[in-house]
Amino acid sequence: MASAAKKITRVLLAKFELESHDRGIYAVAKMLEHAGMEVILHVFQKTEEVVGIAEQEDVDVIGVTTSSGDTHLIFLPEIIDQLKKKGMDKTIVIGGGRMIGDDVPILLEKGVRKVFGPGSQRDDIVNFIREAVSIG
């Protein structure tokens, strides 16, 4: 009996169009690809774009990076709400970039599964995604 092929984890990494810092998102994309994941990069104007691509591409994880202001407090909860409305509750949402420490508990309370800030280690990110996807 042949075993079922292992599903490749699909990750959508997104950053807001006006966000000027992008070195981190490209570094994370490369590390996830090297770990055997499929990565889709997107620069967005509206959160609906992110959710639409997530649905179209059947992604397991959405990672949103921000480095300025408090846009993460707006974008991430909007994405989570839109995923719920589409019945995509199992899609894992993570954040990255320069999110202020006081904002992290707020984001977690709103459904963000994990926040990775500057200096996060490759293995921590990869292992978190692998474990979160396997659990659901």
Distance CA 37, CA 56 (A): 17
The whole-angstrom distance between residue 39's C-alpha and the CA centroid of its chain comes to: 10
The whole-angstrom distance between residue 108's C-alpha and the CA centroid of its chain comes to: 13
pLDDT at 40: 97
Write down the CATH number for the domain with range 10-135: 3.40.50.280
Distance CA 9, CA 40 (A): 11
Q: Where are the chain's structural domains?
A: 10-135
Q: What is the token pair recorded at 37?
A: 């994941």
> What is the chain's length?
136
Distance CA 133, CA 129 (A): 6
Distance CA 59, CA 92 (A): 9
Q: Dump pLDDT digits (tens) for 97-136.
A: 887 778 999 999 999 999 998 889 999 999 999 999 998 6
The pTM is what?
Answer: 0.91
Q: Dump pLDDT digits (tens) for 1-26.
A: 454 556 899 999 999 876 767 788 89
Distance CA 55, CA 71 (A): 23
pLDDT at 107: 95
Q: Which residue is it, tokens 């408090």?
A: 70
Q: What is the token pair recorded at 23?
A: 């070195």
Q: Dump pLDDT digits (tens) for 59-99.
A: 999 999 987 778 889 999 999 999 999 999 999 999 998 87
SS3 content of the chain, % helix, strand, coil (to 5): 45, 20, 35
For residues 39 and 29, the answer to whether their CB atoms sit within 8 Å is yes
